[in-house]
Amino acid sequence: MRGLINILILVLFCEAISFAQTITIPDTAFEQKLIALGIDSDGQVNGQILNSDALVITTLSVSFSGITDLTGIEAFTNLRVLNCNGNQLGSLSLSNNTALRNLNCNSNLISSLNLSNNTALEDLYCQDNQLTNLDVTNNIALENLYCYRNQLSSLDVTNNLVLEEMYCYHNQLSDIDVRNNTALTDFRCDNNQLNDVNLANNIALTFFSCDNNQLSYLDLRNNSVLAALYSEHNRPFMQICVVDDQAAINNSNWNKDPNAFYLENCYPLAVEGRVVFDTNSNCQVDSLENGYIGQFLKFEKGAKVVYTSTYDTLGNYKAFLDTGTYTITVLPSTLYMQSCLSSQQVTVDTNYTLQQVDWALEATTLCSYLEVDISAPFLRQTGGGSSYTVSYCNNGTAMASNAYVEIDLDTALNVLGTSIPIASQIGSFYTFNIGNLAVGECGDFTITTIVDAGAQFEQTHCTEAHIYPDTVCLPIWAGPIAQASAICQNDTVYFKIGNTGSPMLQSQQYFVFEDNVIMRTGTVQLGTNQFTNIVQAAAAGKTYRIEVEQLAGFPALLGDLVAMASVEGCNPLSDGTFSTGFITQLSNGNSSPFIAVDCQQNVGSYDPNDKAAQPAGYGVAHYIYKNTAIDYKIRFQNTGTDTAFNIVILDTLSPHVDITSLIMGASSHNYTWTIQDGNVLRLKTSEKSFNSFK
């Protein structure tokens, strides 16, 4: 009997040894692949393999084998490389495979991946799965992480200090911190929901892709070796900070949204909001209320002042600010509105949490406020392109009824066509009916002209646009309003000085110029609606101009501080020529919003890319009167061999100009504009041919 018991114990012991020498492989497809690879030494599909078969394997590739369960992989404890991609795995745990260096499990159905014990892992390819969570905090040796096209909402790589490549695009990430990943060279995070990416410490980065996110700010000033950038389809007017903006613009391997822009000195987006017209008088910003484009906002922090502006018809604005506490005010573009709140305060801390600050503008006076501008890229006798654009807006608080624009066209210009019908014409005066203009409504039309064949080369042509009704609903000036005009008859210039305001209580001085030299002075003292003539004999070939200074305090709403009028070529030289270029040295004499004057010399050949100012100023130093309105015109043309789309112009405004006086004028094509970084004017057009902005 004792012998039988000994035999039973021996049998059980042998069975235990046999069990310890095998590992269960429940997935038939997995075992068949192991047999095909010559790893399962018994060559039979029996749900197991010998442990000894697994222990000798350091590289295992079971890709595209129809495997749904990788149970048994735990026996491969010496495994360094595992390729199991292209299967139907739903989960994967590699806790026993501590020697693993490279894992490729992409293109499965994996929703759970356990790599907590794989501290030696260097390469992880788990893209194209169903992962909602991926924990790589223990994978401190990780160099390459490919986890794109999953469902990750978060990803912590702060412990992966040697990470070089990370592809996490097409997930649901709203935040990712790569400040510790200083070895990172290739980072692709496009098609997520990222609001911010801090790359300040990623100085080795050579490739960065962040297309299709929610970024409004990107600082690349430390990324000096960045060779390729893809940052399209982010938030409008994305700000990209760089060391050299021109070098960034010229880099064909850097791609961004057309409305994004490069800046050399910038801060993150800190404040955004809307400026609307409070139509229901509740001093709240309601979603259906009309926004105002081109409204300035002033941010003050001690002596530091930063400006921004609303950039679309919804009244949206953005402010990129340094840390600190700012007092914000809105500067309405019309006298007839004020902000319901005189100011608001905002504090920007180092976290740069985006803050929303909205503004409602209420009417103080119900009145229309029409503005008009006129501009042409150039004027010439042949070749086309001499087309005036007349733009207009009602920036008031009430509808303008039966509005119309009157054009006084230079007599040396011939009309070839107009984009809207001419209501009437008397000589050089053309009238165009606009109809009713609602609050905030704008429009434009064109007048195509050609310079008369009898005009002298570089002769100056002045055309005036006047929009009606030109009512001013507030008493803004109680003093005299000097006016000046000039005509030529034979060899004599007849100047007329008038006063359409209150009586002049004292004499006001006038000056008569021959070319650019004062040749005559005098005084006038006129009552209301009184005029006086000043006759000046014209020397051969000379340009004549008269100037009358307005009284101190004269408002720009009514015109320039100096009323003036000019005549060019009244008495030509014997060969028919005369001096040119003196009229455009000075202001056109009117800054009233209801009136716009375009004076420019005709051209033959021309530089298609330039920026010009009128008045050009006197002499080499280009002297002009203080407080004089300056018309800037930017012209550009695509002289290449292919189409150019979404053109952006950045113009840094001088600190010597009042940025809040900026009024955008007529253009040959539609454009949008905003003020960025405090004093950078940004203009954008989607057109591809010749353009001019004013």
Average pLDDT, the chain: 86
Q: Show the beta-strand stretches assigned E in 397-500.
A: 400-408, 413-418, 424-426, 429-437, 442-451, 460-468, 482-489, 492-499
- DSSP for 502-529 reads SPPSS-EEEEEEETTEEEEEEEE---TT
Over residues 187-204, the pLDDT tens digits come to 999 999 998 899 989 999
Q: What are phi and psi of 403, to 5 degrees?
A: -70, 150
Listed as own residue / partner, the contacts of 276-279 with beta carbons closer than 8 Å and 24 or more positions apart are 276/315, 276/358, 276/359, 276/360, 276/361, 277/337, 277/360, 277/361, 277/363, 277/397, 277/439, 277/440, 278/340, 278/360, 278/361, 278/362, 278/363
Over residues 495-546, the pLDDT tens digits come to 999 999 999 999 999 999 999 889 999 999 999 999 999 999 999 999 999 9
- DSSP for 44-71 reads S-SSEEEHHHHHT-SEEE--SS--S--T
pTM: 0.59
Over residues 380-403, the pLDDT tens digits come to 887 766 889 999 988 888 999 999
Q: Are residues 291 and 274 in contact, defined by beta-carbon separation less than 8 angstroms?
A: yes
Which ranges in 284-353 belong to alpha helices (H)?
Answer: none
Q: Distance between CA 437 and CA 372 in Å, rounded?
A: 13
* Domains defined for the chain, CATH in brackets: 22-263 (3.80.10.10), 269-363 (2.60.40.10), 370-468 (2.60.40.290), 607-614+623-694 (no CATH)
Over residues 644-678, the pLDDT tens digits come to 555 666 677 666 666 656 665 555 556 666 665 55
| Closest by CA position to 596, among listed 332, 312, 296, 376 | 376
Q: Write the CB contacts of 130 (distance below 8 Å, at least 6 apart in sequence).
A: 109, 110, 111, 150, 151
The pLDDT of residue 614: 59
Query: Would the pLDDT of 443 be above 70?
Result: yes
- Helix, strand, coil percentages for the chain (3-state, nearest 5): 5, 35, 55
Which residue would you say has higher pLDDT here, 138 or 307?
138
Over residues 28-40, the pLDDT tens digits come to 999 999 999 999 9
Joined tokens for residue 438? 């609602």
Over residues 246-300, the pLDDT tens digits come to 899 999 999 998 878 888 767 888 999 999 988 888 888 888 888 888 888 999 9
How many Cβ atoms from other residues are within 10 Å of residue 63's Cβ?
17
Helix (H, G, I), strand (E, B) or coil at 272: strand
Q: Write the CB contacts of 465 (distance below 8 Å, at least 6 apart in sequence).
A: 372, 373, 374, 390, 405, 406, 407, 408, 595, 596, 597, 598
Residue 331's H or E segment, with its range, is strand 324-331
Q: Distance between CA 563 and CA 591 in Å, rounded?
A: 10
